Chain A
């Protein structure tokens, strides 16, 4: 088992390292890094917490598995007393008044936050270039994008600056950067982890999730963050997933994949070949593989963006310089609102807010927004039917390898289409894990809603198979 968490835990218990030395080392790596992954360092808090862990160990007290483990937080989460900028000008100086439930659960378990991580502003982007902190550079090739929107989090994990990081995934924002940086990233079932304290982008698909270097670390962090929270009424109670439960995959008999994802003219030739080879290896293990029909990529992407833009237009309406954000004074209240928003939002955020207001406005809502909702229902129904016939759906994470820094900003429509393989599972609210195997940008493993355990189980199987 290649769990970083278990390894560091053992080193702390054996006193081969101190927590303070570990945290100092990681903080130094983060500060010196040239990948633009950092929005704010949390040195004081991290070192204080590390000293407490060291004192506990020195006193002979037992420490929990996550106690003293350093982690990163995408800069869209609240952590009381620290900046929460969403990588935006508007919230450049905004301080969290409270702590997100998922993050609080990690703090309660003793994990140590090191850094607020760079991302696309308000989660609006697939490359982590749409940020006031500079484009995040890919961990493997710094000329390429880090992926997005949780790009800083994925690069920090890939470079070992953090042991794990907490990303946010609305349409692929954990899975795609995990794929671009060859690590694991999980979007759990919608509602498994409370969204309280995560800045809302599109509330009906927003998910909190872990990014890490092993399935075991994903499992540990997922368990700690999961659970029903009175402050997010869409959250649900879930049972802990044990190591034993996911070690044997004998009950996975059938795997499906979407034919049109693979037959699409937009897919990179190598990603296609590698994906089909992975399928052959799975078949060779005696698992039945079924090619499934699914919606065209354009329909998936358009449905997702229609609904996500409508929701973000509504969610971001509070950012007006009066309730929140850097106010720029105008002659009157409405002028103040519009100057504040015009000057402080990025071009991509403005594009999405305007798109959202377009589809929500009278005369367009029936033709676009309501039809988008109906399409989403059809997509969800399609998934339900599929999971009557297969246990797992396997897909590439992206149609192509990461673009060069600068290219995505030139062509927003192409950037939207690059989310073709991730957005469908968001609309279905399904648990989906990126594994760094199979293709250059990994594979996605999806199971039926609330069946996150099966996803991890199949990931363990794949690790030994391909």
Chain B
């Protein structure tokens, strides 16, 4: 207080700089020795499970899944820590980085590559506790691997398929699509269904949708040897064909930017007759729609119908103190019983084949089983790069411009490749 203001200020700045440098230095050493969750043994541990939930009802349903772990292993408790989808990814990133993450982490296949470094590979535990991988859908088991190591055990999965409005098809006199229908048949149907304020299709440039439409048309994939390859000739061709749905064929409406629910509102309100979506949304969509909903595989290009599978599962953070207990809990949570319960409630298309029937019974849609089995066979997991979140974000931004005809599709892909290619 006796110092002149200028001197005091100099002192304050010096102190703060020193503090900041110390902090920078302290954070610099990432030795992962944070105080992790779940101290205990393989048989006795109190674990926390971080997961995305939509609301209190959702929270209650998932807590029941967590309770299955205690039913199977009386010494283990799992407490659900729910966050909504968008905040979940921001939160889990900081938690994993600080080494204070919960033991059990919800993980989505498309985001896995970004977080895999902070997750425990499960292969040894799978062997130790005899998890039978053949009981799960193969594409999603593959989809939850990073660098060949299993990072999470799936609870839901599903290939991208076409949802269609049976009533509109009937009114327009268009034959309902069957497995094996071709791109030409699809385009003819979409054109016929367009008119009188309606469109045959609705699409927005989401990563899964774009990748599936490109793959079925030209067989190209977004990554080649783990590197982003959006400017490869085959990918550009496929993407141009996809953009034409909106740009030149005009059987899909112009796309608003950043509206994640535009596709679903457009389809559910009966303004568009088809959309590409995952089975995880099917029962919900059917519940909201005031018409008959049908499902069909993605139309076949020159080499047949080809689509992508995505899904989610549970993994273990590296900072977890009792990975054995956490793995036992995950085995229970992805067991037949909880997955069947979730399926019967229509929450997720289960990753376990044995639970599929319960889901089809709940869905009550003719031909759903035939379609999904067919699509699953013709699908591969969408394996992503470390910076996939950025790629998906760019695809949404510049894809919108390409679809709306503001920029040429190849230029959109080049911009994305330039922006994100180096980090993949």
Q: Do chains A and B interact in one complex?
A: no
